[in-house]
Amino acid sequence: FIPYCSSDVWSGASSKSERNEYAFMGALIIQEVIKELVGKGLSTAKVLLLAGSSAGGTGVLLNVDRVAEQLEEMGYQGIQVRGLADSGWFLDNKQYRRTDCIDTITCAPTEAIRRGIRYWNGIVPERCKLQFKEGEEWNCFFGYKIYPTLRCPVFVVQWLFDEAQLTVDNVHLTGQPVQEGQWLYIQNLGRELRNTLKDVTASFAPACLSHEIITRNHWTDIQVKGTSLPRALHCWDRSLHESNKNGKAPLKGCPIHLIDSCPWPHCNPSCPTIRDQFTGQEMNVIQFLMHMGFDVQKMAQQQGLEPSKLLGMLSSGN
C-alpha cells in the first residue's frame, strides 16, 4: 500500500526548487517502490497487479505500462503486469453548471488536469502521448482516451454515477430535492459512462451513486447481472491464464464485461446503502428516489405502468 502523498494523480516528476516550493513526484515514487519490491520477492513473481482507487485508479492507467517496461529493462520479462483501476475513469464532459476554476472543487475536470500537468511536470505514457498534439497530453488522464493505447491488461471498476464525477460537474445532492435538469443530467452521465466502457474487455460498472469500491468493506456484496466483483476478478484472472495458453475465446459462465443497463442511480438492489448527508439516516432505493425529487406517478405514466408495479420493479432492481 503506497499512501497518496504526491497530489499529482501519480504522474508528477518535479522536485522542490527555488521556483517550486512543493515537490510532485508520484511517477518517480512508483518507480522507486518497484525497485525496492524486487529485493523483497517481486523478482520471483509471475504476476504484478497494480491497483488503485480514485486518483490512484487514474494513476494505474497512467503507470501500468511504464511499470511493465521498467521490469523488462531490469531483466524481469517473466512478470506479467496488470492493472485494476477503481473509480478513476473520469469523463471530460460539460459541467452541469459552469464555474470558474478557483479551487479543485469548482474547477472543471479538463481545466484542472490542464493546469495540474504543467505544475507537476506530469508524465504520461509515450503511446498515449503520440495520439495527441504537443500540449494536449492532459487527454491521457481520461480513461476512455488512454485505455486503447495500453498494452497491459486492465480491469476497470467504475460506479456509473460516481460521486466525485458529479461533484466536479457541480451536481450536489444534498438536502434539496434534485431539479429536473439535474435528474436528466445524472441519467445522461450514466449513459455516457456506459458508452465509454463498451469496448473495455474487463469491466464492472454498477448503477450506483458512490465513490471507490475496492477499499470499502462492502466490496464483495455488490453484484452486476448476478456476478460479484471478486467472482469477476477471478474470471478475469482465469481468462488471462487461458489466453496465455491457447488464445481461446472467453470462458463460458465466467463473465468479465459487466455493466448495469438500468438507467438511474441505485436501480441495482445490491448498491451500498445511501445515507442522507444531513441527518445520517439510511435510505432505501424508493426513499432515495423520492428524496431526489423522483415523481413516481409521472414516471409510471411515461412507462405505461401502475405506480405500485413501478415501485416493485425499482426495489427489485429490474
Three cell numbers written together for 141: 488522464
218 is catalytic: no
162 is catalytic: yes
Of the residues 6, 14, 53, 54, which is catalytic?
54
Of the residues 8, 162, 169, 260, which is catalytic?
162
169 is catalytic: no
Of the residues 14, 203, 210, 211, which is catalytic?
211
* C-alpha–C-alpha distance, residues 4 and 122, integer Å: 15
> DSSP string covering the chain, please?
-----S-STT---B---SS-SS-B-HHHHHHHHHHHHHTTTGGG-SEEEEEEETHHHHHHHHHHHHHHHHHHHTT-TTPEEEEEEES-----PPPSS----SSTTTS-HHHHHHHHHHHHT----HHHHTTS-TT-GGGGGSHHHHGGG--S-EEEE--TEEHHHHHHTT---SSSPPPHHHHHHHHHHHHHHHHHTTT-SEEEE-S-EES--TTSTTTTT-EETTEEHHHHHHHHHHHHHHHHHH-PPPPTT---EEE----STT-STTSPPEE-TTT--EE-HHHHHHHTT--HHHHHHHHT--HHHHHHHHHHT-
Name the one residue in this structure whose C-alpha cell is 481520461. 142
Hey, which residues are catalytic here? 54, 162, 211
